[in-house]
Structure 1
Amino acid sequence: MNRFLMTGLLACAICGVQAEDLRISKFNYFGPFTVASPIMVDSVDVNGKTFEQSSLFKAPDRLSVKGLASSAMEDAFAPSHSSNAIHMLAFDFENTSYAIPELEVKGMKNYAAYLDGEKINGSSLHLRPGSHNIVLRYLSAPDQDTDSLSVYLKSENNAGFSLRNDGKRRFHLEDVLHGTAISRSEISPDGKFLLTSYTTTRRGGSSTRTNKITRLSDGQTVAERQGYFNWMPNGSRYYFECATVDGNELVAVDAATGAESIIVASIPQNYGYMLTPDEKSLIITTYQEGRTESDGVYEVIQPEDRQPGWRNRTSLSIMDIATGIVSPLTFGNRNVYLNDISSDSRKLLVSSSRSRLEKRPTTLSSLYCIDLTTLKVDTLVKEDGFIAGGKFSPDGSKVILMGTPEALGGIGKNVPEGRTPSMTDNQLFMIDIASKNVTPLTRDFNPSVNDFKWSSADGMVYLTAEDRDRVNMFRLNPNNGKFTLIDLPEENITAFDLPDAGRNMVWYGESASSPKSLYLLDTKTLRSTKLATPKEEMLADVKLGECQAWDFVNSRGDTICGRFFLPPDFDPSKKYPMIVNYYGGCSPTSRSFESRYPHNAYAAQGYVVYVIQPSGATGFGQEFSSRHVNTAGEGVAQDIIEGTKKFCEEHPYVDPKKIGCIGASYGGFMTQYLQTVTDIFAAAISHAGISDHTSYWGEGYWGYSYSEVSMANSYPWSHQDLYVKQSPLYNADKIHTPLLFLHGDADNNVPVGESIQMFTALKLLGRPTAFVAVSDQDHHITDYAKRIKWQDTIFAWFSRYLKDDPSWWDALYPPTPLQ
């Protein structure tokens, strides 16, 4: 959105003429811009038409007055001008509800109107909630009357129209979708240069990716390139693939000098690869296609065989860069993955996996250490159903492995006897390669690990982890098992990178009320220096409401964490509708600024937003996260209900009769389940939610395997109390809350039938409901245009029931007499 009001200038004023007619009395004026009449070579043109002054006015489809000088003006066209001239009048307003006002302009002949930079066709304005600008661009003649201008916004209601006199505007969805964001940042192995990737998304959805190479000593950008790059294992050279007539070359560039050199003249196509630290070999991941079935009628070997590409397998090969010779390292019908390469280039850490349908159906993984000089294989872990990847220590003598609390025989388990821990609560284990001794590093560490790196520079392990509703960074001393919280200026750390040398670390993250920023961290002083905030200028004029922490003690004596967002220009003497949001899957609803459910965008429309972290969320310790297992909503629902009621009791500005709730995936199930056990919500939204645990268990690509997370060792035939009695579908008659179902019709995680069957049930019961499918979208709505309408659908449903305003919903989905 373009901002037409210049800093320090008077904002427009809207004066009410009638309850529904708003007269604009003050403007910002831009001009005059002289338009010269043409030299009259002839009296008529090729079509025999005479010249008309109106032909001097041409209206572009888009308009921006950014950077133009302006002045305040009241109730007038423009100062008198001796020549034909173009003038522009701008005014600024905002609305907190959807509106379709009429723009009425009197006293202008040759003019065009622009709403948020786009030319208006007709007089009706379809205004989504937010801040808006209107510019009137017009042509004037010498001695033209300048006293007859009148501009109105005519609406059936004022739709929350108001003015800002502080040069600020409200946050909206476009602030999430558009602009430049950091997508990757890594330091060269010698610690001297920084590679940062930026993705810029423009209005309309097109995007570009730019890579900048920056010298850390002075911040100077030494190169800027498109495409994808990686650092070479040593020094400060980066490499990329370059297409040639004979295939693809691997080209390295010296960041300091810009000198290019060819590393590999021809690399295998469509394969993954990693350079060994000595830069002498490529470890190549080879993909082998499995047997295909005939079209039309085909056999499904096992449940995973429904997934495209499941029959394909990966194996490893090694290429000698000097000779180009490729030799196979592994062979077989199991997938083999490269985890890490030791710093001396002698050893590979690899894993293999197979599906397990007998007993508990988790994926069985094995971890091996391969000596490249002898091809001797050392088995570190054999067919464990609860491990993920690992990384070597800097000296190659140890491995840190990530897994669940049940990994390695449950050595890291820390839950009450008889309780099954959550498989999404990520733990770290250290394995001594020589002795095979295992040390559980995080058994008594409550945060759930997201990522970790073992520093070659100082020997410490740095990690990010879900820490309550934040993602924090920690430093682990592997010698004594001590964790140190690193105090960083953001609440949600997205990614970080460590060089092999030096004391700088690069990281980037965001907070609940601020976009992603890039930082350097001195690993000795643990002090951070901000390098960039790409969206800072774009959001400079945005005014956000406050975000505050709010915890409560539930009836079981547990402290339940949460936070809430207030609308901009919050007035505690007013009553506000409220939206409640909770986790999907098992991770807490993080303090992300630009999430798929941007809480600040809800607050900007006049809602209080309450985010609660109920029982079962990771980041609060193994005992807390284990409450997700074999409960099917029990406990989680009680926390949400208790928290919502207590929040209303302690915050009298919330209207307790106008509360909505929303969740996705497991959170979508929770939305449905909540309506079967409470009537405190006035509206509810379930995106991609599970309505029947039995059908989801058998139909989703990961249905039965996710059920091993939420229903460990419990099955539809053995635990009907969980699969049937706790499924919303079998309790549909208890639901009276207006319930909206949203679902991508290509969702392979939670099949769209989960929404269809619940929608059908509520329709048969005569309950208020709606179902909106998003074509060709999977579990997440990623298509640019479809995401906008999907998000508007959410806004419109809440507006319909929490603001008693169905106009936005009716505009999106006009009422139809079809039955």
Structure 2
Amino acid sequence: MKRLKSSLLFAALTMGCSIGMANDVDVKTFRYAGPFELSQPVLVDSVDAQQKAFSAESLLNTPLNLDLAQQGRVINGGKLPISSAQYALNLLQFNIQNASYCTLGVELKGLKHYQVYVDNKVVSPSSITLLPQTHSVVIKYLSQKDSIYTPSLKVTNAGDGVKVNADTRRTLTLGDIQNGLQYYRLGLSANGRFLITNYYDVKDGGYTRYMWRLTDLKTGNIMRQTDEAMSWIPGTNRFYITRKGAKGRDLIAVDPLTGQEQALASGVGEGTITLAPNGEYLILATSQEGPREDADIYEITQPEDRIPGWRTRWNLSLVDLKTGLAQPLTFGYHNVSLEDISADGRYILYMVSRSRLEKRPTTVSSLYKLDVKTMQVTCVAHDEGFLSEARFSPDASALVVKGTAEAFNSVGKNVPEGSTPNGYDYQLFLLNVANKAVTPITKTFNPSIENFSWNPRDGQIYFTALDKDMQKLFRFNPKTNKFTRFDVPEDYVTRLAFAHNAPVAVWYGESASNSDRLYTLNLDNGKSTLLEDLSKQKLKDVDLGTCTPWNFISSRGDTISGRCFLPPYFDPNKKYPMVVYYYGGCSPVSVYFESRYPLHLYAAQGYVVYLINPSGAAGFGQAHASRHVNTAGKGVAEDIIEGTKAFLQAHPYVDPKRVGCIGASYGGFMTQYLQTQTDIFAAAISHAGISDHTSYWGEGYWGYSYSEVSMANSYPWTRKDLYVDQSPLFNADKIHTPLLFLHGNADTNVPIGESIQMFTALKLLGRPTAFVVVNGENHSIVDYNKRIKWQNTIFAWFARYLQNNPSWWQALYPDKQL
């Protein structure tokens, strides 16, 4: 009897849009566009190439822009407009907004020749399967001269969660995230008047076009738009483009006002080009392949030798722009990277890195200052660990160096006794070239450094930094040792560019609830002025829920940062399911709109979303960040569990029995580990998660090197308590939560075996689980169409367990008798 009841319940769940009774919804209000007049074609023959006679109905296949329907006028039922043309196409449009995955129909009476489109795709009106979102339904019909049409239109088999309207407003979709125009790079002329903006535009299906635009900021005029890459010649008001020449690449200098072109260099070989500020030469970074092995059987010399291209080595050459002479600057088998060129062009700064596997850190680097006129080399830093990159001061007498707190003999270290700094919590240091003295700049500065530059005009250091869950813009004055945080109107400053000779910069960024916006920045008064708002067009007519900070005090006395995302059209009197999202590793989850896990999109599916940044993440100060090291989930899990319970207590509109969680990479490990520690989650998803710290340590391309951060000075043979006891695989019997594993089978960061072994363990234990493989994808799912399928898999799993609707999952992954 129980089995029969279960079968009946499952049947009820899989019918319609929700558990509620299916019903019909009359469509009385819609938008009308037309008539679009057509004439019967000249009948050259009695039949076409397929031997079919002409029929008026075939005119329905005449292409017409269906988006015109959205611009039509609103009609409240009754008679449709009459056309005096022999034939005409007409468009009716309305929206279906469904809260759940469902299958319904559109029934139309009173029209003879018509087609039904949903989201610009023609469908069979009797059975339309809809993902949970707002869908545009367009009926294209053919009218004849002076005919009167009074249609009757209804949506059939609609569940309780289905709404019909003719509004232009809608909810967020994955297409809004993937498609549209976005910024890539920026550049300002030396005088600050001209701006080069590099965009990329993504269309349905993933087609991507890159373009460059030149704008006169004084007049606002667009002076040039092209698919040719444009870059400024340093310190000048001219830009250059690169074209394929007879003997290599030709660099062409262009005057932005006149468009006049002048040869800058010709026959430049392959490699990365960096022009010198004095305009006399360029530095060319070129690669050389290392020894090749037999493709059938080959030796791996060290762990990184598994990585394709690891044996390729880079060196530098100087190309004289007058003569074309390409003078080799460095030679050898160690990798060389160009860090900077001095403002006067006299010196270059380069870094040489080498492996040192027997001691942490396993990579050490040396910094060299090279006089390009005399070829005299000065070693500024030798075999230093924990370095990232460096830049010259305007007079080249000092360097600003980015590294971790352990760089330069831990002079910038500021963590409790016995703790190890987080290797992803980056600091800045001043290094005197003459006496090698190092001064830590950010030792007591909590945000974690990202991008930085030393402005030659005012001698100050500008940088972006992770500031809790945001990325903000700062300035440091080396003379006064004073930090200034710019009051910018976005949560996340993505990229910044300066004018060489003017107090102006340009930057773009986004926030939790909007996409890219472009601004100018007055460096004297700190004021940002909006130049362009890509988000306005990208999110036109989209209704988002709110996003607000929500922090709590943990049992350890820490303030744990979080965010609350609410669904659009939120009703505090309803009970909502909730999704908890986290990373839990070395870095915070920053609140920018265009993420791989767009939380507003989850909210649009009807979930309250709780984003939590547990202890251990960079951007909250060195002490906070150091808690990631040698914990393997301890402390972090407690923060997430405590935070979830506190959130539930503070928000009665969340159903505590319908809470799910999701994380990726280290966050995927946290998903698995959490299920061994608590039963508060009704469903869980691990994407590319670590299940066994020992196997990840040895097999992932960066397993042991990431463990230099997360398990500093700890190894599988010295810390079984971390590598084994804290691994979910060795605690699989404690897991009872339905757990979905997602993994790309080309993942070289966290190999797919991490999911395979955990999935196998749960299957042997008889626990609810599923495993979905994304073919050909690496650690992140970047293929346009595969990302859609991957995202739908996530939503279907949560719908199954958090919304009591397994129909979506069954449609994607039907039961198989094997």
TM-score interval, normalised by the smaller of the two chains: over 0.9
Amino acid at match of 1:752: I
CA RMSD of aligned residues (A): 2.0
Instruction: Measure how far apart 1:163 and its partner are.
Output: 4.3
Shift of 1:64: 2.6
Q: Alpha-carbon deviations, 1:240-270, whole Å to 9, x = none?
A: 221123322111111121111111121012x
How far apart, in 2, do the equivalents of 1:655 and 1:132 lie?
28
Distance 1:124 1:370, change over 3 A: same
Alignment CA distance shift 1:164-1:374 (3 Å): same
Match of 1:116?
Answer: 119
The answer for the alignment partner of 2:405 in structure 1 is 405
Structure 2 Cα separation of the partners of residues 814 and 159 of structure 1: 25
Residues 159 and 174 (structure 1), Cα distance of their counterparts in 2 relative to 1, 3 Å cut: farther
Residue in 2 aligned with 1:604? 604
Contact preservation (8 Å) 1:348, 1:372:
yes
Distance 1:41 1:650, change over 3 A: closer
Matched residue, 2:576? 576
**Residues 1:441 and 2:444 aligned together:** no
Residues 553-562 or 534-543, more deviating: 534-543
Mapped partners of 2:678, 2:59: distance in 1: 65
Per-residue CA shift, 1:184-224, capped at 9, x if unaligned? 11111232210001111111110111100111211111111
Q: Is the 8 A contact 2:30 2:165 kept in 1?
A: no
Aligned residue number for residue 346 of structure 1: 346
1:416-442: CA deviations, max 9, x gaps? 111111000000000111121111000
Alpha-carbon distance in 2 for matches of 1:457, 1:704: 43
| Secondary structure in 2 matching 1:284 | strand
Distance in 2, matches of 1:528 and 1:72, equals 45
Residues 216 and 154 of structure 1: CA distance in aligned 2, closer, same or farther (over 3 Å)? same
Runs of 5+ unmatched residues, structure 1: 1-16
* Residues 285-296 of structure 1 mapped to structure 2, 5 A cutoff: 285-296=285-296
Measured at CA, do residues 724 and 108 of structure 1 come closer, stay the same or move farther in structure 2, by a change above 3 Å? same
- In structure 2, stretches of 5+ residues that fail to align are 1-19
CA deviation string 1:545-588 (max 9, x = no partner): 11111110011111111111101111111100000111264211
Question: Which stretch of structure 1 is more off in the superposition, 189-198 or 418-427?
Answer: 189-198
Relative distance call for 1:730 and 1:50 in structure 2 (3 A) is closer
Structure 2 match to 1:213: 214
CA distance in 2, matches of 1:426, 1:562: 22
> Does 2:35 correspond to 1:32?
yes
Q: After TM superposition, list the pairs within 5 Å mapping 1:207-286 onto structure 2.
A: 207-269=208-270, 271-286=271-286
**Distance in 2 (alpha carbons) for counterparts of 1:320 and 1:80:** 72
Equivalent position of 2:170 in the other structure: 169
Distance 1:32 1:314, change over 3 A: closer
Deviations 1:313-367 (A, max 9, x none): 1111212222222222112221111100111111111110111111224211111
Please tell me the residue identity of whatever aligns with 1:279: G
- Secondary structure at the aligned position of 2:644 is classed as helix
- 1:178 to 2:148 alignment: no
How big is the shift at 1:278?
Answer: 1.4
CA displacement at 1:641 relative to structure 2: 0.3
SS of aligned partner of 2:258 = coil
Counterpart CA distance in 1 for 2:621 and 2:365 is 25
Partner residue in 2 for 1:653: 653
Distance 1:280 1:49, change over 3 A: closer
> How do 1:322-341 and structure 2 match up within 5 A?
322-341=322-341
1:150 to 149, 152, 158: 152
Deviates more, 1:128-137 or 1:59-68: 59-68
CA–CA distance in structure 1, aligned partners of residues 642 and 197 of structure 2:
45
Q: CA deviation at 1:593?
A: 0.5
| Residue matched to 1:696 | 696
Aligned residue among 134, 137, 153 for 2:140: 137
d(CA) in 1 for partners of 2:46, 2:794: 59
Q: 1:90 aligns with which of 89, 93, 98?
A: 93
Which residue matches 1:160?
161
Q: Tell whether the 8 Å contact from 2:83 to 2:144 is kept in structure 1 after alignment.
A: no
How many Å separate the matches in 2 of 1:219 and 1:61? 35
Range with greater deviation from structure 2 (635-644 or 112-121): 112-121
Pair 1:469-2:469 in alignment: yes
* Partner Cα separation in structure 2 for residue 349 and residue 485 of structure 1: 28
SS in 2 for 1:101: strand
Post-superposition offset of 1:55: 3.9
Which residues in structure 2 correspond to 1:568-717 (within 5 Å)? Answer: 568-583=568-583, 585-717=585-717
Q: Does the 8 Å CA contact 2:238/2:256 hold for their aligned counterparts?
A: yes
Distance 1:43 1:261, change over 3 A: closer
The answer on whether the counterparts of 2:584 and 2:615 sit within 8 Å (CA) in structure 1 is no
Counterpart position of 1:726:
726
Closer/same/farther in 2, CA of residues 144 and 619 from structure 1, 3 Å limit? same
Structure 1: distance between partners of 2:584 and 2:379? 36
How far is 1:480 from its partner? 2.4
Matches of 1:681 and 1:628, distance apart in 2 = 23
SS of the equivalent of 1:809 reads helix
Partner of 1:416: 416
TM-score (norm 1): 0.95
Once residues 398 and 335 of structure 2 are traced to their aligned partners in structure 1, the CA distance between those partners, rounded to angstroms, is: 24
- Shifted more, 636-645 versus 104-113: the winner is 104-113
Change in Cα spacing, 1:98 to 1:75, as seen in structure 2 (3 Å) is: farther
Deviations 1:2-24 (A, max 9, x none): xxxxxxxxxxxxxxx98432222
- 3-state DSSP of counterpart to 1:536: helix
Distance in 1, Cα, partners of 2:349 & 2:439: 18
TM-score, normalization: structure 2?
A: 0.95
Contact preservation (8 Å) 2:27, 2:164:
no
- Is the alpha carbon distance of 1:55 and 1:657 closer, same or farther for their aligned partners in structure 2, counting shifts above 3 Å? closer
**2:208 aligned with 1:204:** no
Matched letter for residue 237 of structure 1: R
Change (3 A) 1:491 1:170: same
Give the superposition deviation at 1:48.
8.8
Asked whether the equivalents of residues 188 and 195 of structure 2 are also in contact (C-alpha less than 8 Å), the reply is yes
CA contact (8 A) 1:362 1:386 kept: no
| Partner SS for 2:357 | coil
User: Which amino acid in structure 1 is aligned with residue 250 of structure 2?
Assistant: E
Give how far 1:783 is off. Answer: 0.4
Contact 1:742–1:755 under 8 Å retained in 2: yes
Q: After superposition, give the CA deviation of every residue in 1:101-136 in whole Å (9 maximum; x if it has no partner).
A: 122223322111111122224632221111111111
Identify the residue that residue 22 of structure 1 maps to in structure 2: 25
Please say which of residues 579-588 and 708-717 is displaced more in the overlay. Answer: 579-588
Against the structure 1 CA distance between its residues 570 and 374, is the aligned structure 2 distance closer, same or farther, given a 3 Å change threshold?
Answer: same
* Contact 1:551 1:562 (C-alpha < 8 Å) held by counterparts: yes
- Report the Cα offset of residue 237 of structure 1: 1.2
Q: Distance in 2 between matches of 1:557 and 1:572?
A: 30
The SS at the match of 1:786 is helix
Q: How does 1:403-552 map to 2 (within 5 A)?
A: 403-552=403-552
Query: Would you say the 8 A contact 1:514–1:593 is kept in 2?
Result: yes
Give 3-state SS (helix, strand or coil) of 1:126's partner.
strand
Partner-residue secondary structure (3-state), 1:632: coil
Mapped to 2, the partners of 1:781 and 1:170 lie a distance apart of 23
Go from structure 1 to structure 2 and tell me whether the alpha carbon gap of 1:49 and 1:491 turns closer, same or farther (over 3 Å shift): closer
Alignment check: 8 A CA contact 2:60 2:115 kept: no
Provide the C-alpha distance between the structure 2 equivalents of 1:348 and 1:235, rounded to a whole number of angstroms: 19
Give a deviation string over 1:349-398, Cα, whole Å, max 9, x none.
11101111112242111111112222222111111121111000111111
In structure 2, the CA distance between the partners of 1:276 and 1:37, relative to structure 1 (3 Å rule), is: closer
1:275-306 deviation per Cα after TM superposition (whole angstroms, max 9, x unaligned): 11111112121211111111211111011110
2:678 alignment partner AA: T
Q: Distance in 2 between matches of 1:42 and 1:640?
A: 74
Match of 2:9 in 1: none
Identity within the alignment, %: 53
Aligned residues: 800
Distance in 2 (alpha carbons) for counterparts of 1:403 and 1:194: 31
How has the CA–CA distance of structure 1 residues 326 and 41 changed in structure 2, closer, same or farther, with 3 Å as cutoff?
Answer: closer
Partner amino acid for 2:56?
Q
What amino acid is aligned across from residue 153 of structure 1 in structure 2?
V
* Partner AA of 1:680 in structure 2: I
Bigger Cα displacement from structure 2, 394-403 vs 307-316? 307-316
Answer whether contact 2:22 2:160 (CA < 8 A) is retained: no
Q: Which residue of 2 aligns with 1:770?
A: 770
